[in-house]
A = this chain, B = another copy of it.
Amino acid sequence: MSEDAKPRASDEELVQRFRNSKNRPRSSQTLGFDLLAINQDEQWVEIAFTATDDMLNPTGRVQGGFLCAMLDEALSIAGQVASGMTHIMSTLEQKTSFLAAAKPGRLVARGRVTRLGRTVVFLEGEIRDSDGKVCATATATALPVEYKRNKPA
């Protein structure tokens, strides 16, 4: 979906664009969104989140839905970046597998593009705790929606 005519922003420029954004969505703020790395060639992004005490289930671990929310952000942004920053992802469905309990604190998610189609995008990723243990994996199907207000790099 990217137009080859205009020069592509570098990975680092895109990271800074996300980090310096003044319009960070409320959901991202709530989840402690912190974009760490982007690799446009390999179509992945890496984002840190912070699981707070407000997200804990009765066993003191992160309620799975909040891991879904973090993964949704990582997968969606992987698709947005892979589109050349011309489209946002409207998630149609997400399947999340809860491999291990996550303690509150810093969690790092990686989102990847499985297939970038014109009308449908397939995404996948996982989220790890500070020991590198995978707590949850996800796959998602999304609809790319043109982002009219996007400014070219």
| 3 A-B pairs with the lowest CB-CB distances in the bound complex, closest first | A65-B69, A27-B63, A68-B68
Does A30 lie at the interface of the complex (its beta carbon under 8 Å from any beta carbon of B)? yes
A93 to chain B, nearest CB (A): 4
CB distance from A36 to the nearest CB of B (A): 19
Within 8 Å CB of A92, what residues of B?
97-98
Chain A count of residues within 8 A CB distance of the other chain = 33
Name the CB-closest residue of B to A69. B65
The copy count of this chain in the complex is 2
Chain B residues, CB < 8 A from A27: 54-57, 63, 65-66
* Distance in angstroms between the alpha carbons of A95 and B97 in the assembled complex: 9
Q: 1/0 per residue A83-101: CB within 8 Å of B?
A: 0000010111111111000
In whole angstroms, what is the CA distance A56 to B96 when docked? 20
